[in-house]
Amino acid sequence: MNPEAPVPPGDHPAPMQIGKTRFVWGSRTYVMGVINATPDSFSGDGIVDPTAAARQAIAMVGAGADIIDIGAESTRPDFAPIDADEEWDRLSLVIGAVRRAVRDTPITVDTTKASVATRAIAAGADAVNDVTGLQGDPDMAAAVAQAGVPVVIMHNQRGREFGGDVIEDIRNGLRRGIALAEAAGVKRDAIILDPGFGFGWGPVQNYNLLRRLGELRDLGRPLLVGTSRKTFIGYVVDRPAPQRVWGTAATVALAIQQGVDIVRVHDVEEMVQVARVSDAVVRGVLP
């Protein structure tokens, strides 16, 4: 498939193996549950105790999560960066506990550092989720390629000048990430794309992105979106992060209508219901 050509409705990327699970894109929406192994999570749900993290993972899988995403460094707008050793100190026990608790569920490690990604994969992670789109650590693309695991490439607008069209800025950023991945030896069929809601965008741009999200399907790769509890939702509903569940639900339903493949969420039980009903409408998928 020509990655620059539009993807016709109903035409989806080839299935992808992540850990023990085969993901058939277009068959339904997959739900990724978030575990933040950090004390400064923007959404107020940070968990640093490995036993508590394992319990949360079990609950998420029981509620219908298809993937568990674990990160140990906050990426909120005002976050304080930590070095790789501190990040791994937070992450190592949590990822081990979660891996033992949910043996068959794919785990993605949310990190921007190649050394952390490599250690996490050795500890049981099945894929890498990089919010810099492989552009934060020059060794990350090679680390992913060497491990032979899938990667989520996100566009991050922070520090970049707005070009006037949110979709074009994101499309160009994602293309840079894809190019870095392929140059390092990552296969295109192992790439998932995330447009980066909230990362450098204001409310107007975020809602414009949600409205036009389907245009990014022309890149020919599965789309993951992470709108859960984010500030642009709070801008409209005027609620703190933990109380943005139903605002999040609206964004999840609208994203599914635009053809996304994975939704990354904090409130798994509620968003699984949203995804299933949305799939019944959009994809005609019924139990």
The residue with tokens 């069209």 is 165
The residue with tokens 């990354």 is 264
Active-site choice (175, 264, 276, 283): 264
Residue 20: active-site member? no
Please state the three-class secondary structure of the chain as a single string.
CCCCCCCCCCCCCCCEEECCEEECECCECEEEEEEECCCCCCCCCCCCCHHHHHHHHHHHHHCCCCEEEEECCCCCCCCCCCCHHHHHHHHHHHHHHHHHHCCCCCEEEECCCHHHHHHHHHCCCCEEEECCCCCCCCCHHHHHHHHCCCEEEECCCCCCCCCCCHHHHHHHHHHHHHHHHHHHCCCHHHEEEECCCCCCCCHHHHHHHHHHHHHHHHHCCCEEECCCCCHHHHHHHCCCHHHCHHHHHHHHHHHHHCCCCEEEECCHHHHHHHHHHHHHHHCCCCC
Active-site choice (99, 113, 119, 230): 230
Residue 264: active-site member? yes
Let me know how long the chain is.
287
Instruction: Catalogue the active-site residues.
Output: 230, 264
